[in-house]
């Protein structure tokens, strides 16, 4: 088999979504993956332990902004597609340290696009037409919705409200421009909030699960009525595979779980599930650990995803209900204590102190 016809390059493939995608790709597609990850705090080789000895998975530590490294990988492995998961992705961290988000999400994406463009232009005609660059983005680029507003469609105006979402919006615009200006065959996906195994415990669901298991406070921002659409990570990965296989170059596809929940309802659902899973826990009922704390600056009130385009055009829809996904996620964290212990390092504790120590309780 022509190696070109089978190999893909995944960036950020040791992170939460990227690692889940790599594992699913190896298990269900079975074709080679070259995995480039910088291994920042959220990149974790333990996420890829099950494919460590698999010849179909090649891991290389590196930065998407390092043009010589990326160019060398492209020339050596000749991928038929590049999937860009690499990103700084936590809103709270972007408020504290916006520069890192601009550097990775905007400048890094620009440099990656340029390296890929130069590689793509050298391909023979048939391979050039088949090549795809898939950029994984977020619904946060669209801004915030009111309670009765229609869900975000692909035609919704960009109105980012945080340094994180602004940096991702900028990267989306670069991807679009590289298609319209240079003809690079790109695909962009904008997903809702992901949850599931291997998620670094700084996002709402993973953070609350571990705090509740350990009997720590569950700090809910503001009044807890902020609404998010929740998407189980394996559903997201299957949607990306669908877009890669059947999406039209230049198109944008929104990926959501059709599952709007308020933050406080999500936290309460975690508590109830842990009550069932841990009947002998000293912290039952876990809801008594909930505290309300000062809201974060510029906190978007509601996100919701209109998935009608990807369902209509590509035949994809989510398969995992929120209840099923939450149970699977909680069970995974309970069953992987060593992974949890390793990620809750000194750096993680320093972050918690920086983000939460100064948030006074709301009475």
pLDDT value at residue 319: 98
Phi, psi of 120 (to 5 degrees): -60, -35
pLDDT higher than threshold 50 for residue 39 = yes
pLDDT band at 90 (very low <50, low <70, confident <90, very high): confident
Domain extents in the chain: 3-192+233-256+303-319
CA distances to 21, 32, 229, 247, 275 from 238, rounded to whole Å, are 8, 17, 17, 13, 31
What is the CATH topology of the domain spanning 3-192+233-256+303-319?
A: Rossmann fold (3.40.50)
Read off the pLDDT of residues 167-219 as tens digits, 9 standing for 90 and up.
Answer: 999 999 999 999 999 999 999 999 999 999 999 998 999 999 999 999 999 99
pLDDT band at 349 (very low <50, low <70, confident <90, very high): low
Q: Can you tell me the mean pLDDT for 119-137?
A: 97
When the pLDDT of each residue in the chain is averaged and rounded to a whole number, the result is: 94
pLDDT higher than threshold 90 for residue 359 = no
Q: Can you tell me the mean pLDDT for 318-330?
A: 98
User: Across the beta sheet with 260-262, what order do the strands follow?
Assistant: 193-195, 227-232, 260-262
Read off the pLDDT of residues 236-257 as tens digits, 9 standing for 90 and up.
Answer: 999 999 999 999 999 999 999 9
pLDDT value at residue 363: 40
pLDDT band at 353 (very low <50, low <70, confident <90, very high): low
- Catalytic center residues: 139-140, 164
pLDDT higher than threshold 60 for residue 332 = yes
Helix, strand, coil percent values for the chain (each to nearest 5):
50, 15, 35
pLDDT value at residue 346: 56
Percent residues over pLDDT 70 in the chain: 94
The rounded distance, in Å, linking the Cα atoms of 329 and 339 is 14
pTM of the model: 0.93
pLDDT higher than threshold 60 for residue 8 = yes
pLDDT value at residue 345: 74
pLDDT band at 360 (very low <50, low <70, confident <90, very high): low
């Amino acid at each position: 088999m022509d190696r070109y016809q089978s190999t893909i390059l995944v960036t950020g493939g040791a992170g939460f979504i990227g690692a889940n995608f790599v594992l699913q790709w190896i298990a269900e597609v079975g074709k080679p993956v070259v995995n480039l990850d910088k291994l920042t705090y959220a990149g974790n080789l333990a996420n890829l332990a099950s494919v460590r000895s698999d010849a179909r998975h090649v891991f290389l530590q590196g930065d998407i902004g390092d043009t010589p490294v990326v160019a060398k990988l492209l020339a050596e492995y000749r991928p038929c597609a590049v999937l860009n998961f690499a990103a700084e992705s936590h809103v709270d961290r972007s408020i504290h340290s916006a520069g890192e988000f601009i550097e990775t999400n905007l400048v890094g994406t620009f440099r990656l696009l340029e390296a890929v463009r130069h590689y793509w232009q050298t391909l023979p005609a048939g391979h050039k037409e088949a090549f795809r660059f898939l950029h994984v983005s977020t619904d946060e680029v669209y801004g915030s919705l009111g309670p009765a507003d229609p869900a975000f469609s692909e035609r919704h105006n960009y109105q980012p409200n945080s340094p994180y979402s602004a940096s991702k919006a900028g990267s989306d615009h670069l991807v679009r421009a590289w298609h319209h200006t240079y003809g690079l065959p790109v695909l962009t996906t904008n997903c809702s909030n992901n949850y599931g195994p291997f998620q670094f415990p700084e996002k709402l669901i993973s953070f609350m699960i571990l705090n509740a298991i350990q009997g720590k406070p569950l700090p809910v921002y503001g009044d807890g009525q902020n609404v998010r659409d929740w998407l189980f990570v394996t559903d997201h990965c299957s949607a990306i595979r669908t877009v890669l296989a059947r999406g039209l170059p230049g198109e944008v596809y929104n990926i959501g779980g059709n599952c709007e929940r308020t933050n406080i309802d999500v936290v309460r659902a975690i508590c109830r599930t842990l009550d069932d899973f841990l009947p002998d826990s000293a912290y039952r009922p876990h809801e008594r650990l909930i505290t309300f704390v000062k809201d974060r600056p510029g906190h978007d009130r509601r996100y919701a995803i209109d998935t009608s385009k990807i369902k209509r055009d590509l035949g994809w829809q989510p398969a995992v209900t929120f209840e099923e996904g939450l149970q699977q996620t909680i069970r995974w964290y309970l069953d992987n204590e060593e992974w949890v212990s390793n990620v809750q390092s000194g750096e993680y504790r320093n972050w918690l102190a920086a983000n939460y120590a100064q948030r006074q309780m709301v009475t």
